[in-house]
Each structure stands twice: as structure tokens, then as C-alpha cells.
Structure 1
Amino acid sequence: MILNTAIQACEIMLSIAVLIGFYRLAKGPTAVDRIIAFDLIVLTIVAFTALLSIEEGTEHFLELILVISLLGFFGTIALIKAMGATENTEEVE
């Protein structure tokens, strides 16, 4: 009973964190703010999935957590590479 209430409270807080991340992703004045917001969103989705796994009492979500983490990591690397490519073209001009 107490565990379910704690998990639900954590899920609400993580949902708020995702909304804040989406706000910063859309509003962020710099590209670095957007990359950090993207990492925040990925991390909270991983945490939400882990909470869901605990709530259901199953280990079937662990593969999903791994896939989401890898996609978030490679997405961050791709965004950084894209930022570096645009900065290099600005210096040439």
C-alpha cells in the first residue's frame, strides 16, 4: 500500500519533469539548453519505465530501459555532431 503510493507520487513528479523538459526543449535559447533538455527527457522516461517495472513486479521492462538509454545516448551524440557541423560551416564563411 505505502509502496504503491510512493510509486504513484514518483510517477507524478517524473511526469512534471518531462513536461519541464519539453518546455525547455521548445523554448531553450541555445542549442546546449535543448541538448540538456533532451537528456532530461530521456532520463526521466528511463526512470518512469523502471518504476513501471517495479510496480508490475516484472523484469520484462529491463530490455526496454536499455534500448531507451542507448537511443538517448546516440541521439545526444548526433545532436552534438550536428552542432559541431553547423559551427564549422559558420567559421568558414
Structure 2
Amino acid sequence: MTPQALVMYAIVASMHVVGLAMLLALVRLVRGPSVPDRILALDTLFVAAIAQLVLFGMYLGTAVYFEAALIIAMLGFVGTVVLSKYVLRRDIVE
């Protein structure tokens, strides 16, 4: 088995594990007992989506997916901050 094939198998296995993590985060997002749990699940889902895009970019050998992962990271950060601020103060704009 060549090293390239071993790396591809590792990437595919990692994509499956990250997919399972996304499924579990989605379950927590839907069933979360409280709003902070759901915000945390949404943030976890963003991080897992970023990991999935990076792994998919590595699998295909293209850099387009890395740029998409950066955009999702920025949107996820802003979304988490806005939702957390809304939960704490019930107002987004001060």
C-alpha cells in the first residue's frame, strides 16, 4: 500500500467521523433542553462543517474548499456572538 493511498483512506475515515459528529450536533440542536445548549450545538456544527470542508478539499486536492471553510468560520463566529448576546441581553444592538 502506497503512502498516498494510506492518506486517502485516513481522510475518508476522518470524513466519516466528522459526519457522525455533525449528526450528533444536529440531534443536540433539535433536542437541546435549553437555548445555550442549542447555541453550543450550532457552534459545534459550524466547526464540524469547517472540518468537513477542509477534509473534502484535501481529498480532492483543490483550494476552493479552504476558502469556503474560511467564510463559514467567519459567519459561524459572528452568528455565535450575536446569538449569545441576544440570549444574555434580549437586545442585539446597544
- Shorter chain as normaliser: what TM range? 0.7 to 0.9
Partner of 1:78: 82
TM-score by length of 1: 0.86
1:52 is aligned to 2:56: yes
Please report how far the alpha carbon of residue 39 of structure 1 lies from its aligned counterpart in structure 2 after TM superposition: 1.0
The percent of aligned pairs where both chains have the same amino acid is 32
Shift of 1:86: 3.5
Matched, 1:21 2:34: no
Structure 1 spans left out of the alignment, 5+ residues: 88-93
SS of 2:63 mapped into structure 1: coil
Which 4+ runs in 1 deviate beyond 4 A?
none
Secondary structure of 1:64 counterpart: helix
Does structure 1 residue 12 correspond to structure 2 residue 31? no
Q: TM-score, normalised by structure 2?
A: 0.85
The size of the alignment, in residue pairs, is 87
Query: What corresponds to 2:73 in structure 1?
Result: 69
Q: What corresponds to 1:41 in structure 2?
A: 45
Shift of 1:52: 0.9
Q: 5+ unaligned residues in a row in structure 2: which ranges?
A: none
Q: How large is the RMSD of aligned CA atoms in angstroms?
A: 1.4
Letter aligned with residue 86 of structure 1 = R
